[in-house]
A and B are shown apart, each in its own frame.
Chain A
């Protein structure tokens, strides 16, 4: 298209208007596709028509509160909400690009059905518009029929980013009433389950941590991509600014397999061989113990006060003398133990851990595994062990491997050793829930016989999570497609997708392309995607700027918080809220389930009932009703209720941390392990000893120990580690189609207009590859092409391709944009414990095309 002639020329335009530039704005500005012609804005006017509504950014899990600026019915600017404790008025690079979501020209503009029964990458679905009633009736008829046939288990809900009670929060009752074990299959196993399971195995909390970054003096960061993709990214950068300018400045050591902004900005960048972080963490622990740097008030000490942690030498557990009861007063006294045994306080299994694993995990041993010099490990351990408060953090880097949970446990154990769990200042803790009001009706009162006792209860989930195959995994979405293909445990009939696109995002998605051909697919995204191309019914939801939606915070600072989306504009297309779709389909299911959803009625009703919980618990910002919640955009209530101080745990009593907690109370609320302590020998894992022995080759009597387990790399014998990180511009599910994001996606190597494969020059030259050459990356599951850019800051054995492009059905800007998709060369292999897909454990071959 000829731009020069496409619009009116400047001079001709000026001549036409005849008044010069200041009246440019007097021309009506249309928003393409909306059919809306706006009234003109006045140049330099104070924007009398501008309104600001509260919302929550939806481009990553962080849940930043945003101010949405709407003038004359058109959203044109997005900034962070000053009143939101995560955003604090600030934004990450993604936040501002939100108007592209609303006005995306590739959006689905209303419900549609498929007319071409054939499904595949090259099949045009032949979508034709239908009414919402037809869409709901079609789906409900199908689901009623399935239920009548006694096959309701063959319906599955899949979701990626659930926000709260108005979407993913509705799944539980929906599945219970309808009768399917597959409501809902979440994407957690393709996200970051490794760190959650590592914490479950050690401190008993199946959760990400909350952190007090503002008060920590040391961060030991194992592959958490703090300044790129760790959540909540915007807030982490705010904390970075604080940590780097407070007194004393927070010292930061980052450990990663590649150069990146986090490594570059840290005080010390430690390169590590992929999948070996656990070995380094064990060696750090070894040094902390042998040099006497552990926190005695949390961990305990040797009875004689001397340090008996000597490399290669076992220690003993102290034998506690029998308590003595005074025959006259009845008072029980506990004498101090004698000898040189170790007396533990809030940890469990120290002597066994040391004797059977840690005593030989020296820095020299770790160097042979990790490539990190022993001297560096010692230096890091001494810094970490002598600085308080200090915290060790991690995410997908160490945990997206077959040994991920054990690696995560070793890293998290460092937090126990330096006493940072629940520490008064600069500690790690867990997220409190929101005191929501209840729904107007209870689903238990609407269960028919099928719901209560139907044969569906005999079936496992399609992904086999929580079965013998994956007993500790909460979700295994990546297995659902392959399982369906095999018909094991059965074939799905119908599947409904929300905020997830497994035909592209699952490891080895080629299998999903085949698997979903014979499943009736309901897709609910506002945008085209690979999964949408397989849809039989498209039910497009509102974008985040058009809908009401609440969202309790991800683990943040511990105290409870929930933000609210308020529509910035009326929906510009014929779309609906996903929660309303669930409710409307529910109303059409025969029997009492329909009655239940007629009582629930709609999402706004759900929100109003949830907000009633604030009447008795007004937030710190005065929010005590649905209306004030919508006005402020967030409800929150400080402080966090518990902390550890000098060997004792205390609970908040309304005025201060004044209530000393009993060991039973600590076990119930904070250290939820079988022992009620932080476990260096995990009771949780010991409960699955036979499984772990079978899957990981760790002998059953040792499975509980936090230990080094060698990784199993996938790829079929490739010689280069392949990692596919997310960049700061990675907007979940959509950044492949956002022009302003594409233009600045990978500044580290000048990635404008696409992303490049980052390769060390020596590695490239050894294969005859020059800077900028087109290259092929091959594993045993597939092959993709990319353009190479030299990055001398990376390890020579590790190549880096941001997970971003390679879409085949994502919108006009994503189409045909090299490189290929990293998933196409990623095997579907997962950590047997957490179930987390081992996205970063593949080894590939690299060659010039």
Chain B
């Protein structure tokens, strides 16, 4: 059975955030609702300062802690969809338990003060939906948290399921450089300029993602939590620094 996985090579990632904007446009998210975020970390001081970054999609965990805490079973792991974790917007009540349970901070609740004002939902009002942004794509699947989100729900990365699900059955990798699979490749992977991202079937021993994980010693973030992400990182930058709350001045 297909198990979709992503590999991100931090030695190649340039921290540009093309993944972030490609994702936002493909998935109709609001400004700052970065399903695919890039986090920057600054350590040390001039002249030996260290600046690092970490691109962070949903890890689509094999054992997702968000699913266990959902009181309405709105969030679920769909083994028939390659193991992607979805939010059913018809069931979600916006309680945010899942956001607290997620060790990776990759779930969003956008029905609050907008990151950027004026609120794009006011500027681009919708008819029969909360808003109609200029980048709205033609896909809608509320059961999987795809489309324009309704009021009061949690949202998250779907591995671009509306694209991935159209891929030919049994394909080992969804490679943007392969014309046969380009359109089915998740937006963040497809656009990544230094090709720091790979997407494929972790259940297929022939896949490039498995080869990369094996050859380059892929690691999963916060493996001690037992969540077992389906996203692997390569490279020397995978030593993600611990979060440090900003100092009170």
Flag whether A100 is at the interface (Cβ < 8 A): yes
Cβ–Cβ < 8 Å partners of A102 in chain B: 134
> A771–B249 contact, CB under 8 A?
yes
Q: Are B44 and A79 in contact (CB under 8 A)?
A: no
Cβ of A30 within 8 Å of any chain B Cβ, yes or no, is yes
- The answer to whether B244 has its CB under 8 Å from any CB of chain A is no
Taking the closest CB of chain A, its distance from the CB of B215, in whole angstroms, is 12
Complex interface: chain B residues within 8 A of A747 (CB): 15, 17, 38-40, 53
Given A28-B127, A793-B45, A89:B18 Cβ within 8 A? no
Task: With A43-B141, A44-B139, A739-B116 as known contacts, state yes or no: A94 contacts B128, CB within 8 Å.
Answer: no
User: How many angstroms from the CA of A24 to the CA of B15 in the assembled complex?
Assistant: 36
How far, in whole Å, are A238 and B195 apart by their CA atoms in the complex? 7
> Interface residue tally of chain B, by bracket?
35 or more
Number of interface residues of A (CB under 8 A): 99
Q: Which among A3, A8, A42, A771 has the greatest number of chain B C-beta atoms within 10 A?
A: A3
CB–CB B25/A96 < 8 A: yes
Q: A24-B147, A100-B135 are in contact. Are A79 and B22 (CB under 8 A)?
A: yes
Known: A89-B182, A793-B51, A796-B46. A32 touches B123 (CB 8 A): yes
Q: Report how far A813 CA is from B122 CA in the complex, Å.
A: 12
Q: Please pick, from A13, A78, A728, A739, the residue contacting B17 in the complex, using a CB distance under 8 A.
A: A728
Say whether chain B's binding surface is mostly helix, strand, loop, or mixed: loop
Compute how far the CA of A259 lies from the CA of B50 in the bound complex, rounded to whole angstroms: 9
Within 8 A of B (CB), among A8-23: 8-10, 13-14, 20-22
Q: Is B168 an interface residue (CB 8 A)?
A: no
- Give chain B nearest CB distance to A45 CB in angstroms: 7
Interface presence of A379 (CB below 8 A): no
Interface positions, chain A 619-664, Cβ under 8 Å from B, are none
A24 partner residues in chain B, CB cutoff 8 A: 128-129, 140, 142, 147-148
- Chain B contacts with A in 170-194, Cβ cutoff 8 A: 176-177, 179, 182, 187, 190-194
Q: Tell me the residues in window 76-109 of chain B with beta carbons closer than 8 Å to chain A beta carbons.
A: 89-90
| CB-based contact A760/B46 at 8 Å | yes
Smallest CB separation, A88 vs chain B (Å): 8
- The residue on B at minimum CB distance from A796 is B46
Residue contact B152 to A10, C-beta cutoff 8 Å = yes
Query: Bound state CA distance, A575 and B14, in angstroms?
Result: 38
B15 near A244 with CB under 8 A, answer no
- Interface presence of A742 (CB below 8 A): yes
Chain B residues contacting A259 (CB-CB under 8 Å) are 42, 46, 49, 51
Contact of B16 among A6, A237, A244, A791 (CB under 8 A): A237
Select the residue from B16, B42, B118, B246 with max chain A CB neighbours within 10 A: B16
Q: Contacts A742-B31, A747-B17, A813-B116; is A238 near B194 (CB within 8 Å)?
A: yes
Q: Does A91 contact B (CB under 8 A)?
A: yes
The contact of A792 among B21, B49, B194, by CB within 8 Å, is: B49
In whole Å, how far is B73's beta carbon from the nearest beta carbon of chain A? 16
A532 on the B face (CB < 8 A): no
Contacts A24-B129, A760-B46 aside, 7 further interface pairs with beta carbons under 8 A come to A7-B131, A25-B138, A32-B132, A241-B12, A261-B51, A744-B21, A813-B116
27 A-B pairs with CB atoms under 8 Å apart are A3-B130, A9-B151, A10-B152, A13-B128, A22-B141, A27-B129, A29-B127, A43-B140, A45-B138, A76-B134, A76-B137, A89-B190, A90-B191, A91-B22, A97-B135, A99-B135, A100-B134, A227-B15, A237-B18, A237-B194, A241-B195, A244-B12, A743-B116, A749-B42, A753-B32, A771-B246, A793-B49
